[in-house]
Structure 1
């Protein structure tokens, strides 16, 4: 199997594939739009909820979304969110095998984010409550002592290379999502054209603009994150400059908002906006059955 064949850019890219499981089933398409809507909602709500929680409580406002892994309770929320995103991406099949494989790849990367946390505490506070990895000794079932890891691993390193794997999976995930926005979601089909000509419907033109804007925003956000790594002295963290100290969190939020916007649009905002005529017909038929 040539993996590169799954990355299509031509005019007929990711066309609906004959014989693909349930690809021509209206009920299936409606369910796929529901999955896309849920994905979009999770992507938008995750950074929003974390920012609110850190602003109204004594929770440390971590430097990145990934570092909320080390927060009490909210670390579970972060892991669950990435796991759900991964599950839904794998469950999302699209309209062709190539599209399905791309979504599966993105889903596996999301699971990688959930399994391998970022390294370092990610908090600039001198005193805060959170989680860390520690060495513990028990005496007859009771905790006798607890201390920092007696190894090369730091208290905020799950395992060697955990942080590297985390950022690798993040790059893969957002790379897939940007590709989806630019090339998969913008594909053309007869359903997206007007009845008498090749002009796209108004709804499809609006959707394509949102997809392109979302993909561009993801790439710009990735560039801003790379700039931080390329010029560490410029982005040196410190309590005096909240913006630079939380640069990663800010652009991760922007990238997730863009990701969420694209998938909410793909889901037609829970089948309430930007529907094509054929999709409205499918919904009417479903309601009448």
Structure 2
């Protein structure tokens, strides 16, 4: 079935307006498809950005943060990936209304991350030390604040889903086993801890503030850990690894 037909069918399937009167509504196979797509996009995002910039601009070091790739020649990769994540999260419904609301908020926040870019890579346009940076936007403090807030809401909602919803017995037709429930919680905690360290470190409360600023990539690696944890939890929820094992073994 073509992807657009799957998405249309998933959107039209909806979710129960009153879960109490229809608690046994099945989550369709398209839900797992969405989870797998979202999980793969999350896992690949920092890797693809890093490799793409190395190929296109011969700059092999990771940037200060994932969001700073917006200002490079691979900005389209960042924008398209984040936009796809946002769309899939917005149309994802889960089995309960609360799943839909959390993913909807996360999807909208992902779009805002793109609409309101982070701070510039270079201190000024065409700076000779930042030749891999091709875009410069007049600094607006409110943009930076709104960007960080949106990123926090995006990852925060996904962390809540991983900790609260994925381990729940009513989150899917198949009850998660104890090991998977533990892994969901661990992934969510990793995301929250990574975000907390970024916030405290970038403000110099813990660690050295310079570790989170150019040319260091403390923020990039912690963001990568957070999105890898988020991607893994979504792939696990979709049964991706068990399906992969059955396919090849």
> What TM-score does the superposition give when structure 2 sets the normalisation length?
0.78
Structure 2 residue aligned with 1:228, among 195, 201, 212?
A: 201
Instruction: Tell me which residue corresponds to 1:17.
Output: 19
* CA RMSD between the two structures: 3.1
Per the alignment, do residues 98 and 156 of structure 1 end up closer, same or farther by CA in structure 2, a change over 3 Å counting? same
The structure that has the greater radius of gyration is 1
Do 2:116 and 2:146's aligned partners in 1 also have CA atoms closer than 8 Å? Answer: yes
**1:84 — aligned with what?**
84
Report if aligned partners of 1:132, 1:156 keep a CA contact under 8 Å in 2.
Answer: no
Compute the displacement of 1:209 (Å): 1.9
Alpha-carbon distance between aligned partners in 1 of 2:226 and 2:97, rounded to the nearest angstrom: 26
Distance in 1 separating the partners of 2:183 and 2:106: 20
The alpha-carbon deviation at position 132 of structure 1 amounts to 2.4
Give the 3 Å change call, closer, same or farther, for CA 29–270 of structure 1 in structure 2.
Answer: farther
CA contact (8 A) 2:70 2:117 kept: yes
Separation (CA, whole Å) in 1 of partners of 2:173 and 2:94: 15
2-structure distance, mates of 1:160, 1:225 = 18
Q: Which residue of 2 is the match for residue 95 of structure 1?
A: 95
1:254 paired with 2:225, answer yes
Q: 1:156 to 1:224 in 2, by over 3 A?
A: farther
Corresponding pairs, count: 222
SS at 1:236 equivalent: helix
Aligned to 1:71: 72
Q: Contact 1:64 / 1:249 at 8 angstroms: preserved in 2?
A: yes
- Distance, in Å, in 1 between the alignment partners of 2:164 and 2:71 is 36
1:207 aligns with 2:206: no
Give the TM-score, by structure 1 length: 0.68
The offset of 1:18, in angstroms, is: 4.7
Task: Provide the residue aligned with 1:197 in structure 2.
Answer: none
Residue in 1 aligned with 2:5? none
What secondary structure is seen at the aligned counterpart in 2 of 1:95?
A: coil
Aligned to 1:181: 162
Which residue matches 1:47? 46
Contact 2:90 2:103 in 1 (8 A): yes
- CA distance in 2 between partners of 1:167 and 1:52 (Å): 24
Match of 2:34 in 1: 35
CA–CA distance in 2 between the matches of 1:122 and 1:251? 22
Could you tell me which runs of 5 or more consecutive residues in structure 2 were left unpaired when the two chains were aligned: 1-17
Moved more, 181-190 or 210-219: 181-190
C-alpha change, 1:77 and 1:119, in structure 2 (3 Å) is same
User: Is the contact between residue 116 and residue 166 of structure 1 (CA under 8 Å) also seen in structure 2?
Assistant: yes
Q: CA offset at residue 180 of structure 1?
A: 0.4
Are residues 271 and 115 of structure 1, via their aligned partners in 2, closer, same or farther at CA, if it must alter by over 3 Å?
Answer: farther
The structure richer in helix per residue is: 2
Q: Distance in 2 between matches of 1:109 and 1:252?
A: 16
Check the 8 A contact 1:41/1:260 in 2, yes or no.
yes
